[in-house]
Chain A
Amino acid sequence: MSGWRLPSGGAIDRARPLGFTFDGRQFEGFAGDTLASALLASGTRILGRSFKYHRPRGLWGMGGEEPNAIIDVTDAGVTTPNLRATLVPLRAGLEARSVNASPTAERDCWAVLDLLHRFLPAGFYYKTFMAPDWMRWEPSIRRMAGLGRLDPGNRPPADAVPMNARADLLVIGAGPAGLAAARAAARNGRAVWLVEEAPAIGGALRWRGGAIEGADWEAFAADTAQTVEAAGGRVMTDTTLWGAFDHGLYAAWERRAGRGDRHWRIRAGEVVLAAGALERPLWFANNDLPGVMSAEAGLHYLSLYGVAAGRRVLVACANDAPYAVAGALAEAGAQVTLADARADTPEAPEGVRLLRGARISRARGTREVGAADVDGAHLDVDTILCSGGWTPTVHLFCQAGGKLDLDARRDALVPRPGTAPMQVAGAANGAFGLQAALDEGHRAGGGTGPAPRAAAAADWAVMPMRPDPASGGRQWIDLQNDVTFKDVKLAAQEGFRSVEHLKRYTTLGMATDQGRTANFAGLAALAAVTGRSVEETGTTTYRPPFAPVPFPVIAGPRRGELFNPPRRLPLEPAHRDLGARWRDYGGWLRPATYGEGDEAALAQAEALEARQAAGLYDASSLGKIEVIGPGAAALVDFCNYVRMSTLEPGRARYGFMLSESGVVHDDGVVLRLAEDRFLVSASSSHTASVRLMLEEARQDRFDPRQVFVHDVTAHWTTLTVTGPGARELILGAGIAEEVAALRFMRVAETAWRGVPLRAARVSFTGDLSYELSVPARHGGMLMQALDGARAAVGACWIGLEALMILRAEKGFVLVGKDTDGVTMPQDLGWTGPREKRTDEYLGRRALFTPEARRADRRQLVGLEAEGEALPVGAHAVPLEGQRRSLGFVTSSHMSPVLGRPIALALVEAGNDRLGQEVGIFHLGETRRARIVPACSYDPEGTRRDG
């Protein structure tokens, strides 16, 4: 209980107290507080438990780098797990809970694990939980692992708004460098977007203060914001720029209190990264105890929230920056000792006891800091503020492909110019110090003339600090993942010398903070124990997001009906009126069955009725791609396995489209409507890709002025009538005799009731079928007419479930279901074109590779079995000998017309096995099935013409 609130000072409103709870206890803060500052002011030290050993952990930092104070927060009824207390604005009634602790962070029953730490080194899990098998251990370990808890009943509102924007110049970070860059660019008339993660612009100036251009920094910041907005730019606070992507795309998460957050996709012409730097910890024994904090954070809380981190404070460092911290705390009334590892130091701030050339070796205490050892001396302190140097925030630079170099003078990895499409300025570029930041920002913004002048111009001197191999006790390198210096040494000893392997073996740099405070120390430690330089050791890969972004922000409004958009049939309302039940088939919402009751039974009844009388179904989703022009025949020929140029106008032919690898990509009928006009009918789910394949071939292989491709799928409504009563039904609907008299695989373009009608005698059921298409606006009229005529022939509407039965009875394939990623046309029994066509066509060459010629390729066959339908996906296995997969069931149904199960399967050398029995292995049980031809119903095709 050491933090305390000053009676005055800070940017909080002491007239507006706000009550909140933490781990069930009631606290009070003020408007303007963050959850972290309010808890610090309350004297609460233990805010969480460490990931592995459940050690007590307290507040370390002041922003997104915070590794310890990870909190589940319920605010206004919405629970969000794993928030950083440093970034949560305090609100009245807010409920906060610590993570990874039971029941509370203060009294965590799993703290006993820390007593066993000697037996739980890095890699413990990998070595220990191999026997008897990982699956046995996994549930328990998963229950214990992780940080925050998701509440399954939690429904965050889908109110985050996606936004697209373009920025002439994007400046990331509104500290001194970012302000200088934005001001310089805006003065040159550029439209600048200035994006800042914090609630206000100014960066470290907000707590360090300073004079710029002879006035308080706030005047400079206000002038900059005004200049930016006057030039057509935008200043955004509370906005985290979380990802840099290809082609100048940046993603930003804007938090808006009381309104939905916004998720920005910003296309930037140029970018200046001025994201500052993060303070590193120092490495000494027990450097993870609550009460050990970043020195800069100490000043941050003091200046902005009027909170002192402790009463007896040790500031440990090896650079100039914490001197201001020590001075401010002393002025606030704390007893401050400053231990600087350097012999040559600045003067001690007033009221501060300065120890030159002094190093901290140990923090003492069990649950929080109670003392410290400095050069062997025991100091009675309650708080240790430390500064081990500065790590430039280069994440976005590296996400954009940038490389880093070690700047030995500043002891930091800094951006290598020209390796990423952005400029880096200020502390992010290793320029520590106000004037240096202003100079670099001004230059990056294209400023002419002198840069803004700061009152304090000196750059900060930094002495490199590293973990001490000789030190006793545990020196924590990664606070969030409980990785110590010994763990790094152990990993190196066990051969994990690559930094990427180190990360995965020890978990260093993983989880929600991604090692912001840990990575440099980890690299330096690995470099030291492997005898390499930091540069030789390298860094791990930087990937988005820079900071955790809530899923509701990324998902935006796309939930429920907006989640995954299936395409919709024009006649959907009419099908609903008929009692249709819906499913997503190939990206289209289509009727599965009609009416109430068991879906499987409905499908059986529909299929049987279609065989006995007639069935109607909506085929509007089938792709309709027109290929037009003098070069149409050649293009369609090239893109199809089956030659189409020999078709006469008014005729149709079934065929396949192959990929370049010879694999069946789609199947369908091609209709020749005129000498120079074809209609390619694609599967519902393949229309877009078929169009692209046609378009690619058109542009790359043919004279693109002689042939064109139009996808007109959405213009048409197509209804199909199938079954022995189909002819009678369409005549009853008033469709012309000439249509009813069409022969198989013929097509006619005619008119019906004054509207265009295209009729095709093609069949996906094996029965007499008519595919009737009218412009979508007339689809209702066609549907009404057909529906009115169906009673006379005893016809019914059938859904896709029934249609699947009908086509499977005939052995007609569904590409993607009855084929897989290696199925070639010869595997489906279509060998003719492969053997006879000598001209070039898409995929041809791949059909003659050794792989394509293998005798044991899986071929499409049918399966006969007794009893229930065979399970789809079950493997065919030999009935004798060693069990191995010969293939698998691709489609399986109970055939209502045959009264037995039917199935299609891809089976190794299936055609050679016709008549043989195989086992169908599923969930430990094997059933017998006989391999038969794929077509199990009307193999002679007698029903085709009614």
Chain B
Amino acid sequence: MKPAHLQAVAGAPVVLGLLVLTFGWHVSVGVKAVPLATVADALLDFDPEVFDHVVIRDLRLPRAVFAAVVGASLSVAGALMQGVTRNPLAEPGLLGLMAGASFAVVAAGALMGGGSSALLPLIAALGALGGAGLVWGIAMAAPSGATSLSLVLAGAAVTAFLYAAVTLLHLLDEQTFQNLRVWLNGTLAGRSPEVFWWCLPWFAGGLALAFLLARQVTALAMGEEAAIGLGVNVARIKLLALFAVVALTAASVALVGPMGFVGLVIPHAVRLLVGSDYRLIVPYSAGLGAVYLLAIDVVARMVLAPVEVATGLVTALVGGPVFVWLVRVRL
């Protein structure tokens, strides 16, 4: 076997083990600490008479699942963006996709009074696509072209504008948006399972597409000329990657609101571990992204207990310094 395959096989149990451990930790921590043995019982041998089992099944388990799925999705989306655009600072939050999705969800709420949760991921996807298109268009029109700098600056401007617009809509109609206020910081608390089921096809489709594209993205990450030389249809791969990124980001935003920097931190960490082959980066980003967001959510719930910090704030607290470090090292 080639070394890369060896690494993949050797690393997979470690990542899975970590995932199971963090998942169990996440479920056991809370206002009332539940021992891990009870957690295992609740999952494997459910007894509706035991109060702890009900708490875990109905409240904590969904939250842990959401955290794992969103963490995996955002990390994979960030990895794809960094590979396809060859830009170390690419990330759904930085490049306007999250702001676009948030704005679309809020605007749809203002126009249609809430809307059904079936449409929510679609609306978010349209918004994310619009945000990405706007940022990309502005950066391409800049004299220097779509460099890391022009993309991040365009992303910052579009994000500032869209969040100001969101706040404006918020002020105009405070009644409708009482719930959205928390959602806008990115939170895993009290998300409805109904929305999750509607988002699930988007998550699954986006992740599947990302896994299928991994091989060609590796070629693209070496440069467009190299990719063409290797027989990759560059335009098609870019378009498919955009679909995957938009689907993953939109479903994440629709479910838990904007969570910044997850897609920046994890792929870079993964690259340090497994190198530059996207056939390894994509699955490892998914696994470690899930572990990361589960751990972050535990921190968000514990650090100021009994008050809960919005999870999106904690991801920014970790991600901001990582971003600064990347600017120092990579630019």
Do they bind each other? no
Q: Which residues of A contact B (CB under 8 A)?
A: none
Q: Which residues of B contact A (CB under 8 A)?
A: none
